[in-house]
Chain A
Amino acid sequence: MAKKKTPDSTPVVGLFVTCLVDLIRPSIGFAAVKLLQQAGCTVEVPGAQTCCGQPAYNSGDKANARALALDVISAFEAYDYVVAPSGSCAGMLKHHFPELLGDDSETAARAKSFAGKVYELTAFLTDVRAMTRIEARYDGAVTYHDSCAGLRELGIKAQPRALLKRVAGLKLVEMEDAEICCGFGGTFCIKYPDISNAIVEKKTANITASEAKCLLAGDLGCLMNMAGKLTREGKKIEVRHVAEVLAGMTDGPAIGERQS
């Protein structure tokens, strides 16, 4: 169970790991924990979390989406803040939970007060914790893809860039159309693979043209899509979650890269 505020008023953050990070790339979760601790927070990871429910919600299965939303709220509502290393999942928790649970006055009130505590990682570090010191070093040019939900539901654009500028040795180069969808779209990429492919092809062309050696974003779904396309195309571009670079955890293989 979550702690109440510690005496020295260090905020207690519940880390919403996200299902993809849990399954595919735990290093992003550990990078998030490290950054949150560097920003002066106590981090807890409730075991009673699985997924934010988007697969159900976006497939029209409102009943399961609602049930999962209540599970997440129950597991996290006692924390001072709820932080996710994903704009998409944070957007779900912050904007769509209140919509899903708006019909009943009791759940609506819970969802609303819960939503007020939810942040995407880079937005939390910048906007809430005013983090300015980044201890990491990364040598080379990186480019940043603005994932759709983070950008349009949460207004995340400046925050990851502000943090990246403080990484020693890192040079941020903007690609063309950084704000345009990568074609992932959750179950969309499985239901409409050909269209998804046409969209991600445009994205990888822009990534390549940027001449960055590394692609960053804040959402693992999008990153897996772009990394998977880049390796299929035989392009040697390193793909990582922004948290890994900010936390200085870039020693291990990049997304889709073989272990050396």
Chain B
Amino acid sequence: MKPASRAFKTNASQALTNEPLQRALGGFKTGFVARRASARANLPEFDRLCDEARAIKEHTLAHLDLYLEEYESKVTAAGGHVHWAANAGDARAAILKICRDAGAATVTKGKTMVGEEIAINEHLDAAGIEPVETDLGEYLIQIRKEPPSHIIAPAIHLTMDQVEADFRATHKHLPQDRVLDEPGLLVAEARAILREKFLAADVGITGANLLIAETGSSVIVTNEGNGDLTQCLPRVHIVIASIEKAVPTLEDANTILRVLARSATGQECSTYTTYTTGPKRPGDPDGPEEFHVVLLDNGRSEMLGGEFHDMLRCIRCGACMNHCPVYEAVGGHAYGWVYPGPMGAVLTPSLIGIEEAGHLPNASTFCGRCEAVCPMRIPLPKMMRHWREREYDQGNTPAGYKFGLKLWAFAARRPALYHALAGLAVPLLARFGKRRGRFAYLPLAAGWTRHRDLPAPQGKTFQQLWRAREKTP
């Protein structure tokens, strides 16, 4: 997907006046936020589990090479194949080759954000292989030719009316007068259509929430069961996962799963938690004949040990965006690439460059709610600030803004000068604002006064008044 993050500001402004989008975004508080809060409240050891999960990830990242090699050897021993992909291009090439070798005409897909990151659908399409998304949300955005707007709820930007209209426009072979006015009916229609696709697919592609080194297993969590049909029915199963998904043991995986579902949807565990180890074994009733894992780096090994290292602990629960006032206001598409919200504001510049994604780490009030709810204790605001520092150091901060900042810093570092200037300017401004107590417009403060009044200063500065008071005996 071609990044549109440079246009964040325009995208955001359009999102704010997009009425159906605003309606769709209205449900966060009673949905994700309330459900996570109640899941946390119902598990007294939740915070301790988060600390444990964080420690597991930190340990794994400190020995990532060893755990990835162990994982590879266990996958190979189980009869699978591991393909190492340094970048998105390598991953696409590896997947296309597997599909071609399998003579694939259609490929079913479980939800995979890494699949979005490497834009695998477009690549397969261009090669004449039809990718079919089987997660309901992913299916919806596929028929709308849109990217996901949320990492766990890709179609959260849509209302039910829009879905109904899309189904009528896409599923033309079904009777036009059918009733589709409740979620159950829409799900049933998607299920019937997708069932055919599941049975016809030659290859199934899924992501992975975790890769377990000691067993060579990958884990996916879903609520629809589509992942299981995607990986069991076709002859070939491809797992695409990024390298930081590794954990040492099954026990470790389960600790992380306990905080993942609660943080994401507020469930104790997802409806389906599926462990996959290699292809079908002799005597197994079902499963794929071929099993491949494409392990994607795509810039992640560069993050190890650096300023953005902590981001590699992310388990993609989405809690940061569910609690973000900016995300809640503009939705995920405004961010312009695969990963939105606070985690995207940190990760996206790592993956596509700060020149492309500079707006993302800037568009935060630093309210800190994301960090407060992050089960992996990722200091998201701090890392957004690191991006701003890089931007500043590389000279990418807008020139006018930088000039203003320098001027201000020059004065702020010279208290005598600063107080003298403030002592002149503030009383003047106060005199202009005195009658109304506020300004409806002020030159150089148009960004502020576009939407709100600027309260006028009281009169003199505190320093002026204090010094005067000190002088009076």
Contact = CB atoms under 8 A, between A and B. Distances in A.
Given A152-B368, A190-B447, A191-B447, A60 B413 contact: no
B16 interface: yes
A48 B409 contact: no
B363 to A, nearest CB: 5
Interface in B431-456: 434-438, 440, 445, 447-448, 450-456
Interface string B367-410: 11101100000000010010111111100010001000110110
B458 interface: yes
A194 interface: yes
Interface size class of A (residues with CB under 8 A): 35 or more
Interface string A62-95: 1010011001000000000000000000000000
A180 B325 contact: yes
B466 A29 contact: yes
A53 interface: yes
B362 A258 contact: no
Nearest to A177: B29
Contacts of B366: 58, 148-149, 185-186, 188
Instruction: Name, among A58, A71, A253, A255, the residue most crowded by chain B CB atoms within 10 Å (CB to CB).
Output: A58
B406 to A, nearest CB: 8
B269 interface: no
Given A190-B447, A231-B453, A55 B392 contact: no
A53 B369 contact: no
A59 interface: yes
B325 to A, nearest CB: 5
What does DSSP make chain A's interface, helix, strand, loop or mixed? helix
A49 interface: yes
Contacts of A71: 413, 415
B435 to A, nearest CB: 7
Contact of B365 (A55, A68, A183): A183
A245 interface: no
A195 B434 contact: no
B458 A257 contact: no
Q: Taking each of A57, A64, A68, A184, which has the highest tally of chain B beta carbons within 10 Å of its own beta carbon?
A: A64
B182 to A, nearest CB: 29
A17 interface: yes
Interface stretch (A108-116, A128-136, A196-204): A196-204
Given A22-B461, A64-B413, A231-B438, A185 B367 contact: yes
B385 A57 contact: yes
Interface string A167-188: 0000000000100110111101
A137 B451 CA distance: 34
Contact of B363 (A19, A23, A186, A195): A195
Contacts of A47: 415-416, 419, 463, 467
Interface stretch (A3-11, A118-126, A207-215, A222-230): A222-230
A50 interface: yes
B448 A199 contact: no
Contact of B452 (A51, A67, A200): A200
B365 A198 contact: no
A2 interface: no
Nearest to A257: B437
A193 B412 contact: no
Contacts of A23: 422, 426, 457, 461
Nearest to A204: B452
Contact of B389 (A19, A62, A195): A62
A50 B413 CA distance: 8
B412 A22 contact: no
Which of A27, A53, A231, A257 is most buried by chain B, counting CB atoms within 10 A of its CB?
A: A231
A259 B372 CA distance: 41
B418 interface: yes
B329 A195 contact: yes
Contacts of B426: 23-24
A259 B409 contact: no
Given A26-B460, A183-B365, A199-B365, A228 B415 contact: no
Contacts of A189: 447-448
Given A59-B388, A193-B448, A50 B415 contact: yes
A232 B451 CA distance: 8
B326 interface: yes
Contacts of B362: 188, 191-192
Interface in A1-43: 17, 19, 21-27, 29-30
A22 B462 contact: yes
Given A193-B447, A228-B438, A64 B409 contact: yes
Contacts of B371: 152
26 contacts: A19-B412, A23-B457, A25-B458, A50-B413, A50-B419, A51-B412, A55-B405, A60-B385, A60-B389, A61-B392, A62-B389, A62-B392, A67-B413, A181-B325, A183-B325, A185-B365, A186-B366, A188-B366, A192-B363, A194-B9, A194-B13, A196-B365, A225-B452, A228-B438, A229-B452, A256-B437
Interface of B: 9, 12-13, 16, 29, 325-326, 329-330, 362-369, 371-372, 382, 385, 387-393, 397, 401, 405-406, 408-409, 411-413, 415-416, 418-419, 422, 426, 434-438, 440, 445, 447-448, 450-463, 465-467
